[in-house]
Amino acid sequence: MECFDRAEFWSREEIERAQLVRLRNVVGQAMRSPFYAKRLKEAGIAPETLKSLDDVRRIPCTTKDDLRSQYPDGLNTLPQCEMVRMHASSGTTGSPTVIHYTQNDLNLWADLMARCMHMVGVRREDVFQNITGYGLFTGGLGLHYGAERLGCLTIPAGPGNTTRQLKIMRDFRTTVAHIIPSYALYFGAALRDSGEDAKNLALRIALIGAEPHTEETRKRIEELLDVKAYNSYGLSEMNGPGVAFECVQQAGMHVWEDAFIAEIVDPDTLEPVAEGEVGELVMTTLCRQGMPILRYRTKDLTRFIPGECACGRHHRRIDRILGRADDMLIIKGVNIYPMQVEQILMSFPEVGENYQIVLERENYLDQIRVKVEIKEEHFVEDMRVLRDLQKRITNKLRDEVLITPRVDLVQNNGLPKAEGKAQRVVDSRES
């Protein structure tokens, strides 16, 4: 099978041997920062004390608050003159989390991203249209450099402006697009509503990520755009995109374990969960020089998928992100994740591409209201048909989340549209 580099098909033995060597190296590198020097000394950790990969669990976890406390450059392990770029998180409260990169860090990132894209069939003959944000956001530049590393004609289109995106796609015969899931749905619906047949486009691959989404959403994107859509995972603290990616099997995302150590732990105890169980993803960089991060608590909930992948790669797979530990909604004492709601809504063929979860308070009690767009052909004048659909959606949501939500059926295009990340949850409860 064709691969981008040999490490892509390393055996488990090769992966784990390299991980232990690189873990020792990165711990030594991290100790050049005052933050990690102090924390690792207190924990009795030094490179020579790491005898096996299990010893990674002796290293204290790093949190987003730790990164914020070291703003702007307290975690750097090399002088500023060695750094060539910085990126920052998109958080809106407090200090952002900032990551600094050496040129070697960026080269390794581009290689990982190229490996991801090559794995799903992107080649130098492709035309790559990057329909995501640039700037401090890592998503745009990460895939941009990966595409150029493969030799693709790379179009930095940026987000939004659907008419212009479509013109570029037609004129330059775009074959591969990077697009966030909510905008992919919006873009596909706009194509459909304008009478454009997606089969007339050259587009064949969509790389989607940056937002948690369900398998039902992926299938809708594939149908609307007539593409194969591949899920990806990344976060700015670990580089951005390129941490994990689906192969053509679309059966989980391979974590590139030559560059990262991934753990899945119980969010409360920080102990490892059993293989296949859901927990919080904890990540360690193995190759970053400028600002290594050890055992970072991502807050993302997922699981390792047991068994080997049919593609022949031995890098472990994680499931699609099921939500975030801090995104959980608690309504009437019941824990609800927005992804549960999306999965149910997208299973109804009558439901459109947009929905919104509204948290309300009535008589001192919290309530959940789900506003969902209905496709134009199903939004009929016969109220009995609409009431039946409303009841079926309500009942199926109740069976999934164990409380009964209020469901509002909205006409197509009746909810606010977002050309960036969609705001799926609105909290209108009084403070």
Over residues 261-316, the pLDDT tens digits come to 999 999 999 999 999 999 999 999 999 999 999 999 999 999 999 999 999 999 99
> What does the mean pLDDT of the chain come to?
92
Q: Name residue, tokens 């007339």.
A: 200
Q: What would the pLDDT profile of 197-249 be if each residue is shown by its tens digit?
A: 999 999 999 999 887 788 999 999 999 999 999 999 998 899 889 999 999 99
Q: Given CATH 3.90.550.10, say whether it is the number of domain 329-427.
A: no
Evaluate if residue 105 carries a pLDDT over 90. Answer: yes
Kindly state which CATH superfamily the domain 1-326 is placed in.
Answer: ANL, N-terminal domain (3.40.50.12780)
Name every residue whose Cβ is closer than 8 Å to that of residue 71 and which is 6 or more positions away in sequence: 95, 96, 97, 98
Q: What is the pLDDT of residue 93?
A: 46
Query: DSSP label at 272?
Result: B
Q: What is the pLDDT of residue 363?
A: 66
Mean pLDDT of all residues in 330-338: 75
Enter the tokens of residue 382. 């016969």
Structural contact between residues 138 and 239, judged by C-beta atoms closer than 8 angstroms = yes
Decide: pTM greater than 0.85: no
Domain boundaries, the chain: 1-326, 329-427
Name every residue whose Cβ is closer than 8 Å to that of residue 160 and which is 6 or more positions away in sequence: 183, 419, 420
Q: What is the pLDDT of residue 9?
A: 96
Structural contact between residues 358 and 410, judged by C-beta atoms closer than 8 angstroms = no
Mean pLDDT of all residues in 11-33: 98
Name every residue whose Cβ is closer than 8 Å to that of residue 93 and which is 6 or more positions away in sequence: none
Count other Cβ atoms within 10 Å, centred on residue 217: 25
Lowest mean pLDDT among 67-71, 132-136, 333-337, 397-401: 333-337
Q: What is the pLDDT of residue 373?
A: 93
Structural contact between residues 149 and 126, judged by C-beta atoms closer than 8 angstroms = no
